[in-house]
Structure 1
Amino acid sequence: MSETPPPTSLYHERQHLELCAVHALNNLLQQRLFSKEELDRLCGQLAPDSLLNPHRSLLGTGNYDVNILMAALLTRGFAAIWWDKRRSLTSLVLSRVHGLILNIPSNVTLGFVSLPIRRKHWVAVRQVGGSYYNLDSKLKAPAHIGGEEDLRKFLQEQVAQEPCQLLLVVEREVEEDGSWLLPL
């Protein structure tokens, strides 16, 4: 990733508690649309009879699962499509993709100390002003990725890590017509 400074209009929330899903959604959509309370409400809707909700941490500090991200995106007219890592990223039609969400392994830190524990972390990637940016809430500022080929290289490096997962965020119509993927 290059050192190009991000545009001043780039929205970027920083990590708080275990709310990386909230931050990834807001960073992807480039405004504060979601809150912990809203994602907690979605948890309750998806598991209304559960004593312990399976879609978030036991302590209620966040750590939302993919079902909550997908449900939240649906409330805003978007869909999340799981990317099959067996496919080549060259078959992805980036002009039809609103943004990307990665679920990557991340070290747990306490203050300045990094623990030998890895947990999953939600990260948004989005094109703004003609360039792609890594909008990871653990970063002090968005990291410039570059153009389409730079993005494909970045994504390939990320999905090569186990157990990284990639979600394409597209408008509902794009999900339905399948135009996010080049035909075989």
Structure 2
Amino acid sequence: MEEGPSNGGMLYHEVQESKLCAVHCVNTVLQGPFFSEFDLAALASDLDRKERQMLLEGHGGGDTVPIDSEESHNVSMDGDFSIQVLEKALEVWDLQVIPLNCPVAEPAQIDPQLENAFICHLQDHWFCIRKVDTEWYNFDSLYAAPEHLSKFYLSAYLDTLKGFGWSIFLVRGNFPKECPISSSEALNGFGQWLSPEDAQRITKSCNSTQATPHRTNPQQPSDPTQFAGEAERLSDMEEKDLNAAIAASLLDSASVAAGLLNSAAAGSGSQVPQDSNQ
């Protein structure tokens, strides 16, 4: 399969702004600030218009349609976008979004290392897992920097996400090869370019100075992404043992994480400058 863009060895990452995680997710899949919230809003509006047209046609072309037909099913009032909007945005770049549980995605279930990108969704949060220059990274916008995922851990990590109810989508197609850094930085105010070394340094700094999980949404279940760093250090274990370690870690810490998340959401002074609605 085609390798992702190199961008001179740099990683493109966007840090959470409001509830724009869908924007951040799309841009990190593309590895560049290609879309703004206004672009996705326009796509959502077009989808809504087409859906309303279909409703009208389904009612014999009359002027009366169900009372909730004027409500958008593709973007919420606070900026959360549907998977259909993400699909339309990535179609612009000849990329296809495929549910991981579809038969056509079976090879990715068996060996995800052969792919280039995955989109993950739970409740109102989106994030991207992306291969850049043969290495895998978690580009969650609630993280200060992309978090490296070893090839050994990737499969177990995806399985853990699925076990916690996350919907996972495979992204295939012709990914952009380059995003000129000098001319693209001004397209939005969310993104930053980081070397793998800088990303690793930032991640280690956050892990060493924060005892609380990255996420601050009390509605989210205990988040398996907080254990990625620990699993990296266990990469010399057999996969069976690693899966058991992840499961045990999640089980033992569930009640503690829930208390920390509720405390953070109540304004306990979390150091992570992230939106508590995500």
SS in 2 for 1:137: coil
The Cα of 1:76 is off from its aligned counterpart by 1.0
Contact 1:43 1:68 survives alignment (8 Å): yes
Rate the CA distance shift 1:39–1:15 in 2: closer, same or farther, 3 A: same
Distance 1:129 1:74 in 2: 23
Rate the CA distance shift 1:92–1:120 in 2: closer, same or farther, 3 A: farther
Distance 1:44 1:101 in 2: 22
Matched with 2:161 is: 158
Matched with 2:248 is: none
Matched with 2:79 is: 62
The Cα of 1:52 is off from its aligned counterpart by 2.2
Contact 1:89 1:156 survives alignment (8 Å): no
Distance 2:17 2:109 in 1: 35
Residue segments in structure 2 that go unaligned for 5+ positions in a row: 1-7, 53-68, 175-278
Matched with 1:182 is: none
Distance 1:29 1:63 in 2: 19
SS in 2 for 1:101: strand
Residue segments in structure 1 that go unaligned for 5+ positions in a row: 1-6, 105-118, 173-184
TM-score, normalised to structure 1, is 0.72
> Counting helix residues as a fraction of each chain, which structure ranks higher?
2
Contact 1:70 1:80 survives alignment (8 Å): yes
What's the CA shift string for 1:84-116, capped at 9, x where partnerless?
189686524643x33100003xxxxxxxxxxxx
What's the CA shift string for 1:143-183, capped at 9, x where partnerless?
11112x32111111111102x100000017xxxxxxxxxxx
Amino acid at match of 1:168: L
Higher Rg of the two aligned structures? 2
What's the CA shift string for 1:101-135, capped at 9, x where partnerless?
0003xxxxxxxxxxxxxx43101001123211000
Amino acid at match of 1:52: E
Contact 1:85 1:159 survives alignment (8 Å): no
Amino acid at match of 1:98: N
**One of 116, 124, 138 as aligned partner of 1:120:** 124
Matched with 2:46 is: 45
* Identity level (%): 28
What's the CA shift string for 1:39-96, capped at 9, x where partnerless?
1111111111453211111x2x31101111111111110000001189686524643x
- The number of equivalent residue pairs is 147
The Cα of 1:23 is off from its aligned counterpart by 0.1
Distance 1:70 1:47 in 2: 14
| RMSD of aligned residue pairs (Cα, Å) | 2.3
SS in 2 for 1:41: helix
Distance 2:71 2:39 in 1: 18
Contact 1:82 1:166 survives alignment (8 Å): yes
SS in 1 for 2:124: strand
SS in 1 for 2:128: strand
TM-score, normalised to structure 2, is 0.49
Matched with 1:4 is: none
